Amino acid sequence: MFKKIMKGANRKASKTEANDSSMYGFDPPGRSGPGSNMIVNHASRGSLVPSSPGSMAATTQPPPMYSVEPLPLFRDVSVSERQSLFLRKLQICCFQFDFTDTLKNAREKEIKRQTLLELVDFIQSGAGKLSEVCQEEMVKMISVNIFRCLPPASHENTGQEPADLEEEEPYLEPSWPHLQLVYELLLRYIVPSDTDTKVAKRYIDHSFVLRLLELFETEDPREREYLKTILHRIYGKFMVHRPFIRKAMNNIFYRFIYETERHSGIGELLEILGSIINGFALPMKEEHKLFLIRALIPLHKPKPIAMYHQQLSYCIVQFVEKDYKLADTVIRGLLKFWPVTNCTKEVLFLGELEEVLEATQTVEFQRCMVPLFQQIARCLSSSNFQVAERALFLWNNEHVVGLIAQNRGVILPIIFASLEKNIESHWNQAVHGLSANIKRMFMEMDPELFEDCQQQYEEKQAKSKQVEEQRQSRWRRLDEAVEEREREDPMITS
């Protein structure tokens, strides 16, 4: 194959470019061909603006490279030659290697790693303002390295049902020694305040952002951490991309909720959203409220919620703190997706509910308190002590106790039976003790109301006991009738 390439070196330029693309997976800097596996959308770009006086002097494009060889350091060449050297180093970094075999191409891998380190240091030092050609080629090189097919999840290879994500060992990307430096280079390019966003947005475009979001499915937590930081910086720096990023995130959440229920990066995406929600202006746009109702609240439905619940809870609480009128919507949304048989998930919901109630005002609380405390009553009488205990811990929150005290006439009759049953028969001593404390709290808060609830409970219990006795009596009479019939006609039993 190498001989074929060398034979074709003197052919016309288009054939050379096609060979470069198919053989090495990259185009020479400044060119593009049908074999390129990079996407850089230049639809918004006009002709290149001449380099400013402060930028590195423009040079012609260096010829394509067919092997990985070490190049001089930036400090060893003159300032006028650094741009050309920068482009040549980018070419070296476009070479792809097989990391499944650690011994294969060891020398070339090390040269590429050192070259990436030099590029990162060069960008970080701000030794010279990058020309537009250099910026374009750098984004191309980054695209070649990071945009790739992710390996399938372990269960996809076997056809088995996916195991618990918390129990699975995360897949670690074998090419991380190179990949980390490429992400670091992208971060150093985006972060500086002197980066011209008008120029950079030509290369960090919608297509680039969309493919960046697709990478959040990687199982490597190190890569997701870099992606989170980079996407957050892009959102902050490129205002033109903000609506597009929010919409693309929505689509990821919809697919996760209603189709796959499997995505490694939901937690990281929610972390970014938590910061975005914090910056929402008031009054809140209808678009943002719809996002809460259609995406964030339904995110409580999937089974692997434990993987991202902390970040989701933060986003939900941010909405309520921003606009207290959303508390009723949020609480009713939680009740809609409340788990029935998953006790671990139920404990998470109770923790989130407490945080939401802390930001809830009286009017919104009164709108939803009846269905809310009907659910809390069911939690109080749960045979799982963790669920019952977490529900009882709500009374340790002063703001929640204040809301309950103001509306005790409605709330106490709903939960009284659950408290009494816990005191009478719950198997866990901690639940028994906490229930007794809450009962005492209500007794001191409103003795008259407490007496009424106690009387109603006793009457209800007496009626239930009477109904049960009548039922048992009917069964006894039925048994007696059967026995009598058998004595009269022995053939019935035979």
Question: What is d(CA 342, CA 279) in angstroms, rounded to the nearest whole number?
Answer: 34
Q: Does the pLDDT at position 6 exceed 60?
A: no
> What would the pLDDT profile of 356-393 be if each residue is shown by its tens digit?
999 999 999 999 999 999 999 999 999 999 999 999 99
Q: What is the mean pLDDT of residues 419-428?
A: 93
pTM greater than 0.75? yes
The reported pLDDT for the residue numbered 162 is 52
Q: What is the mean pLDDT of residues 193-212?
A: 93
Residues in contact with 432: Cβ distance below 8 Å, sequence separation at least 6, in sequence order: 422, 423, 426
> What would the pLDDT profile of 274-331 be if each residue is shown by its tens digit?
999 999 988 999 999 999 999 999 999 999 999 999 999 999 999 999 999 999 999 9
Q: What is the mean pLDDT of residues 131-156?
A: 88
The reported pLDDT for the residue numbered 194 is 82
The reported pLDDT for the residue numbered 204 is 95
The reported pLDDT for the residue numbered 158 is 52
The reported pLDDT for the residue numbered 159 is 52
Measured in whole angstroms, the distance separating CA 10 from the mean position of its chain's CA atoms is 52
End-to-end Cα separation, the chain, in angstroms: 92
User: Which residues pair with residue 280 across a beta bridge?
Assistant: none
The reported pLDDT for the residue numbered 160 is 55
**Average pLDDT for the chain:** 85
- Sign of the Cα torsion 439, 443, 448, 451 reads positive
Q: What is the mean pLDDT of residues 219-225?
A: 95
> What would the pLDDT profile of 66-102 be if each residue is shown by its tens digit?
678 888 888 888 888 888 999 999 999 999 998 888 8
Q: Does the pLDDT at position 184 exceed 70?
A: yes
Residues in contact with 220: Cβ distance below 8 Å, sequence separation at least 6, in sequence order: 170, 171, 172, 173, 176
Residues in contact with 3: Cβ distance below 8 Å, sequence separation at least 6, in sequence order: none
Q: Does the pLDDT at position 352 exceed 70?
A: yes
Q: Does the pLDDT at position 35 exceed 90?
A: no
